[in-house]
Amino acid sequence: MSQTIALSQLGLGRQATLHSYPPAGAAFLRLREMGLLPGTRLTLVRTAPLGDPLEIEVRGYRLSLRRADADSILVEPVSPS
Amino acid sequence: MSASAVVSSVGSSSAARAPVYALVGNPNCGKSTLFNALTGLKQKVGNYPGVTVEKKVGTAYSQHGQPMPVIDLPGAYSLAARSPDEAVTRDVLLGRRLDTAAPDRILCIVDASNLERNLYLVHQILDLGRPVILVLNMMDLAAKAGVRIKVERLEKELGIPVIPCEASQGKGLIELKLAMSRPDLPLPRHRWDIPSPIAAAVSELQASLLEYDRKAPLSARAEALLLLTDQDSVRVAGSTPLSARTTDILQSWKVRWEGQGVDWAATLVASRYEAIARLCTGVLDRVAPDDEGPSLSDRIDGVVTHPVWGWLVLGGLMGALFLSIFTLAEYPMTWIDDHVAQLADVVKASMAPGDLRDLITDGAIAGVGGVVIFLPQILILFFFIGLLESTGYMARAAFIMDRLMSRVGLNGKSFIPLLSSYACAIPGIMATRTIEDAKDRLVTILVAPLMSCSARLPVYLLMIAALVPGETIPVGTKVGLMLLMYALGTLAAFGFAWLFKRTLLKGEPPLMIMELPPYRLPRVRDVLLQMVERGGLFLRRAGTIILGISILLWFLSAYPKAPEGATAQAQMAHSFAGQAGHLIEPAIRPLGFDWQIGIGLIASFAAREVFVSTMGVVFNAQSDADDTAPLRQALAAARWPDGAPLFTPLVCLTLMIFYVFAMQCVSTIAVVRRETNSWRWPLFQIAYMTGTAWLVCFAVASIGRLLGY
């Protein structure tokens, strides 16, 4: 199992697998409902011009979320092939 | 648990009444386009009572001409509502709203190119135990992305009609209408295993909901499942709270799960996605997409959200927007102005002189005309906002601006409403409906009128003209002062937003997530339809209030009558308005304003630009919009009773600043009343804005006098 990092630390254009949300993560329920579950593959596509928010691709669509929220989401980067 | 044996009794038994359809789907899946294609122009737009969510009802016709009512429910990602829009969708589907009966059948539309996530809502809806028709929209885009959907297999798996379609091209509509006109529709064959840690809880809750909350047998299970994920922050007005028994059951299960370390909501969501994944492996074939490499949307975003080009595109688009508002709107505005004047003349010529004639011409026609004249601007703004929404650029503007807006505690979605308010606060405030977070939305509404709107322009121009002696005004002074006024208003808007978010409406910001839909060519027909609907909504909502206030303001200036043969100026001085000017003079005297300016301030409630024409009457200057020279001279000649000049440069500057801050527009007040559903917020807005106006003007006037101006 590779190391987990915060989603906000993921490099631009890199892929990762969602590892976990914070334990008391009721606030993240909507992200789960939008298909971002532990084990789901995602890609950090780009950031907004001012570096925040982030744009990720998940299940074939694009989602923007704030860096502050991404700080508490853990992902496992997929090693570049 | 299979319900396939039960055949819908809804369609067959109600020969007298056509089944009512509800149209549901995720945002950005083409739902409005399908609704427009199904119902054409036969739509009724209103509001759900108690909430500011648009209610759209239309009628589709079967192949045999049978009418089939369709309710277009707001776009939702899940029935576990996170916004007032989603709450309405949930409550209508579950039959919780008293004003809207639960639909008989449900039309579920999904974006076929983004099937998995779209199916999440469908999966919840299949629980409802009602006949469902699944519409696979954007089949062309799915094919382009290399997704092949085996429609017959999907139909078999779900046990419901599945109609592939391209709503924007009108493809699949006939098949859809055929399916909709079927007298009996099967109930979904919806088998999915509720995960074991929570299955027992769901059956227990379901039984309790049936017995103690009198939920319908068909929806009790869906309600039970929803209890586990729905935070239910948004309650339906007038709904009965959950029974004590059901609450107890839910509470004791939550305590038990917490002890065992079970995240029940997450488990439930995960099991739905597992069921969807199983379904998709059977019906989805992924082949290589038509063209490899970044999609068109991605290439556009490479520019539009670029650290340098992104700002230029945003600035360019907004510049073009304002240029077109001010240039395009000019023609219809002149036309309306001329025709309102003509209409008044016709009425004047055909009626005997008297109060009734004056009431109609000077009160009703002039007053309503003064607001209708802003309609072209408002419509152009609605058109642009609709265009930005339907192309997908709106989400990008919010994406780019989110960081800046977060500095004052707002989010990127407040940007376009605030920007629109530079032209007119009304479309700006009506556009705040896209902001999901109730607090952010309210703060945006509260500060939007501080952005200097176009009705303030004539006031600024007149005051600048009166401020600078001589016939010609140096361009630098004019532009400098104008920019100062716009900057003051903008700073105040952001300052107050920051203040309100820290005090009045503070709270943990919720998770800020937003879908960035692929760019799409706009459907001009849909955008125009939306523009006309919103324009009509504004006229209907604000119309009566505007008419009432116009007549009231006319009455105030026409009564009591001055002695026979008095000039308009003398009549104004003698009238209630004149008396009101005297009445408020003590309050505005510290700012350097006299009672005559007071009349102008009061009259501005009809629309701020009315100040200019009121000053014309008060100071007896014949002037029109094109030539303010006589009015300027009259203002320069105006004196206090002791002979000191009234319109000193300091007073002119103070007056402009007053217009920057004060809440004076009746139309805006009416719209805020509608959009916040109470008088509390518009009254607060009048108090805080006008209070600030007074304080700032008092400070400017005092400092100016100290400095010897």
Q: What is the pLDDT of residues A8-52, one digit of tens each?
A: 999 999 999 999 998 776 778 999 999 999 999 999 999 999 999
Q: Look at B307 and A65 and tell me if their CB atoms are within 8 Å.
A: no
Partner-chain residue, chosen from B116, B406, B514, that has the shortest CB–CB distance to A64: B514
At the top level of CATH, the class of B196-286 is mainly alpha
* CATH of span B9-180: 3.40.50.300
> What would the mean pLDDT of A63-73 be, rounded to a whole number?
94
What tens digit of pLDDT does each residue of B463-473 get?
888 887 766 77
How high is the mean pLDDT of chain B? 86
Would you place residue B694 in the very low, low, confident or very high pLDDT band (cuts 50, 70, 90)? very high
CB contact under 8 A, B516 and A64: yes
- Of the pLDDT bands very low, low, confident and very high (cuts 50, 70, 90), residue B325 is confident
Please tell me if residue B47 touches chain A, with a CB cutoff of 8 Å.
no
Compare CB distances from A37 to B273, B298, B512 and report the shortest one's residue. Answer: B273
CB contact under 8 A, B120 and A61: no
As beta bridge partners, residue B129 has none
The tens digit of pLDDT for each residue in B49-65 reads 777 788 899 999 987 88
Is the confidence at residue B235, as pLDDT, over 60?
A: no
Q: Name which of B80, B263, B310 is nearest A33 (Cβ-Cβ).
A: B80
Residue scoring higher pLDDT (B495 or B561): B495
Q: Which residues of A touch B308 (CB under 8 A)?
A: 49
Rounded to an integer, the average pLDDT of B252-281 is 91
Q: Quick: pLDDT tens for B609-620.
A: 888 888 888 887
The full set of domain ranges for chain B reads: 9-180, 196-286, 546-706
pLDDT above 60 (res B233): no
Is the model more confident about B263 or about A64? A64
Per the CB < 8 A criterion, the answer to whether B176 and B163 are in contact is yes
Alpha-carbon span B628 to B457, nearest angstrom: 14
CB B575 within 8 A of CB B567: no
Count contacts between A and B (CB, < 8 Å).
111
Domains and CATH numbers, chain A: 5-77 (2.30.30.90)
Task: Say what the pLDDT of residue B626 is.
Answer: 57
pLDDT of B20 reads 94
Give the gyration radius of chain B's Cα atoms: 30
CB contact residues (below 8 A), chain B span 403-432, against chain A: 403-404, 406, 412
pLDDT at A80: 67
Q: Which two tokens mark A59?
A: 């299940």
Q: Indicate the pTM of the whole model.
A: 0.86
CB contact under 8 A, B515 and A26: no
Q: Which of A45, A49, A63 sits opposite B400 (nearest CB)?
A: A49
Cα B372 to its chain centre, rounded Å, is: 20
pLDDT in the model for residue B234: 45
Q: Does residue B14 surpass a pLDDT of 60? A: no
**Helix, strand, coil percentages in chain A from 3-state DSSP, rounded to 5:** 20, 35, 45
Quick check: B307 contacting A, CB < 8 Å? yes
More confident: B262 or B237? B262
Which of B314, B294, B299, B320 shows the shortest CA–CA distance to B395?
B314
Please tell me the predicted confidence (pLDDT) of residue B2. 40
**Using CA atoms, how far apart are residues B365 and B278, in angstroms rounded to an integer?**
66
Encoded tokens for B337:
């102005």
